[in-house]
Amino acid sequence: NAGVMQNPRHLVRRRGQEARLRCSPMKGHSHVYWYRQLPEEGLKFMVYLQKENIIDESGMPKERFSAEFPKEGPSILRIQQVVRGDSAAYFCASSRRQGDTGELFFGEGSRLTVL
């Protein structure tokens, strides 16, 4: 049973380019979370999604950032016109269903570097 899969593991972008990070949840999991982690920092909540529905995006910056979790395919975190401050590790986690207060399963992360 494959775990949470994230790709790419490492991504380098120049300022102004777009970054797309993908996350395939564990089999049977219909809820996805995205977190951002700066070096030596904690995990900052960004967005919580269900298939075709954003449940909570209170942690998402108002501009340049968007997330989706379509009916088919992986969840995608999109960052437009990247700036150096976007450099971070972006972790995706999945859980079985809303109301399930059980554990989150994390992927290995996508590390974005903006030059």
Partner 1 sequence: GQQVMQIPQYQHVQEGEDFTTYCNSSTTLSNIQWYKQRPGGHPVFLIQLVKSGEVKKQKRLTFQFGEAKKNSSLHITATQTTDVGTYFCAGMSQGGSEKLVFGKGMKLTVNP
Q: How far is the CB of 114 from partner 1 (least distance, A)?
A: 20
Give the residue with the Cβ less far from partner 1, 18 or 100. 100
Q: How far is the CB of 64 from partner 1 (least distance, A)?
A: 21
Task: Considering only residues 35 through 94, tell me which ones interact with partner 1, judged by CB under 8 A.
Answer: 35, 40-45, 48, 55-56, 58-59, 91, 93
**Could you give the C-alpha distances from 13 to 19, 33, 60, 79, 113, in angstroms and in order?**
7, 23, 20, 11, 6
Tally the residues of the chain: 115
Q: How far is the CB of 5 from partner 1 (least distance, A)?
A: 12
Please identify, among the stretches 11-19, 64-72, 73-81, 100-108, the one whose residues bind partner 1 according to the rule CB under 8 A. Answer: 100-108
- CB-hemisphere CA count at 13 Å for 34? 33
Q: How far is the CB of 93 from partner 1 (least distance, A)?
A: 8
Please identify, among the stretches 12-20, 67-75, 77-85, 104-112, the one whose residues bind partner 1 according to the rule CB under 8 A. Answer: 104-112
